[in-house]
Chain A
Amino acid sequence: MPCNTYLEWLDTPASESGSLPEYIARHLSACRDCRQAHAEIQALRTHCARMSPDSNEALRLWESLAPLIPAQPAAPSGQPAGTVQPAGSASTVVKASAAISTPVGIGPVVILAAAAILIGVIEYGLSTVRLQPSSQLKDQISRTVTSAPPDVSSAPSVLQRHVPAKPASGSLPATGNPRPESVSASPALPVSDPERTVRPPEPSIEPESPAAPLTAPPAGSSSTSGDGDVLTDGFVPMTAPSGGRD
């Protein structure tokens, strides 16, 4: 049974220092088995060291590898870039790209957010106009007509068609309504326009609107019934088979 003192010592963390302690050195001088094991381990190290590249071969390997090594960006702290990489080559490119990429990265987000907000405002405005109570709509119309007559031509057709109903707006004759063709083309919409298929719930939003004003609107009435007539008047021709009211 060979002595395993040296091999057992190799298995301890104390052997990781690489140097032989004194008691092991003394044991090696006295124990043939351990001396042999020590020689074998040293031979193993020598063998592997000899098989690995020496300094000349390592330099040769380095020379073949060096052109392939990518240049590293210089430190942002302003330290010198070293002797190999010229200052201002890669670092300048990185800084320039960073200066460019910052606004480019935020710009589309800002534009998209602004567009989303704008679309939301427009949608809200349109829905407000559609669902606005008739009295408010009428007041809005009267304000629009009285305050800014020159701009009436650019107002929505729904608003313009209310102008003849207002006695105070004499400057806007009903015959001056520039939208007859759009209304005459509207009867075809209930069949083909998908937007119409969405609209049906809208009358149910105003269940209080009486049906009577639809057929007999009182002249000059400023109540909700009259406005309901005006409001729905924009929809009735859409469903009419032909011949708009205009």
Chain B
Amino acid sequence: MPIPVPPAIESASDDALMDLFRQGRVEAFKVLFLRHIGLVVRYAASLCGNWETARDIAQEIFLKISQCAGTYAGQSKFKSWMLTMTRNMVIDLKRRKTTKTVTIPDNPDHWAPFADPKNPADGVSIEASMADWLKGLSPEQREVTLLKHVEQLSYAEISEITGIREGTLRQIVSRALRQIREEAGTDAL
């Protein structure tokens, strides 16, 4: 049975939605889920290197959030709290060495773009080069660069999620972009 979502809830902030969910309103949690599932999947994929595993992780994350909603007191932004939880879960999965978790260096073709005939060919070629650049980055560079330039988080938020100081984050991103630029200058476009 589908859960109806009032229009007013869809525009509420994350913290307000969490408050509503703690009051028993599951439709508020549905809005949170639909709002952030893509972010969690992308971040989990950047960490574990497998989109299918990333989807499973994202579902686990939202189930965990629903179970421990009472512990979220709003000290940090909901997005940072959620991504920190995601990062910890991926780290736990890597430690357990599950068969479903495949690291990016072990599966370099995973970042290849989908062949979409609706998109122009040059867009696909840029994505292809982007996949190559992502493969060439270290896991740390890829994680931080994606959080910064794809998810467009601030350095403060990334620092809160990863536990890396902001100055170090700037160096990581700068080095990653320089590496991308060097590769793009030689063989891309």
A74 touching B34, Cβ below 8 Å? no
A11 touching B173, Cβ below 8 Å? yes
State the CA gap A96–B3 with chains docked (Å): 28
**Interface check B55, CB cutoff 8 A:** yes
CB contacts under 8 Å to B, within A16-63, are 16, 18, 33, 36-37, 39-41, 43-53, 55, 58-59, 61-62
**If the complex has contacts A43-B130, A53-B55, are A83 and B27 also in contact, measured as CB distance less than 8 A?**
yes
Q: Secondary structure of the A side of the interface?
A: helix
Contact with A along B103-136 (1 / 0, CB 8 A): 0000000010110100000010011011101100
B59 touching A61, Cβ below 8 Å? yes
B3 touching A68, Cβ below 8 Å? no
Q: Which of B28, B30, B181 lies in contact with A4, CB distance below 8 A?
A: B181
A58 touching B34, Cβ below 8 Å? yes
**If the complex has contacts A7-B177, A16-B152, A37-B184, are A82 and B23 also in contact, measured as CB distance less than 8 A?**
yes
Contact with A along B158-186 (1 / 0, CB 8 A): 00000000000010011001101100110
Which residues of chain A are within 8 angstroms of B70 by Cβ–Cβ distance? 72
State the CA gap A7–B23 with chains docked (Å): 45
Interface size class of A (residues with CB under 8 A): 35 or more
Instruction: Kindly count the residue-residue contacts between A and B in the assembled complex, taking CB atoms under 8 Å apart.
Output: 154
A70 touching B66, Cβ below 8 Å? yes
**If the complex has contacts A66-B3, A70-B67, A75-B24, are A18 and B41 also in contact, measured as CB distance less than 8 A?**
no
Which residues of chain B are within 8 angstroms of A84 by Cβ–Cβ distance? 3, 24-27
Contact with A along B36-63 (1 / 0, CB 8 A): 0111011001100001000100110011
Chain B interfacial positions (CB closer than 8 Å to A): 3-4, 20-30, 33-34, 37-39, 41-42, 45-46, 51, 55, 58-59, 62-63, 66-67, 69-70, 111, 113-114, 116, 123, 126-127, 129-131, 133-134, 146, 148-150, 152-155, 170, 173-174, 177-178, 180-181, 184-185, 188-189
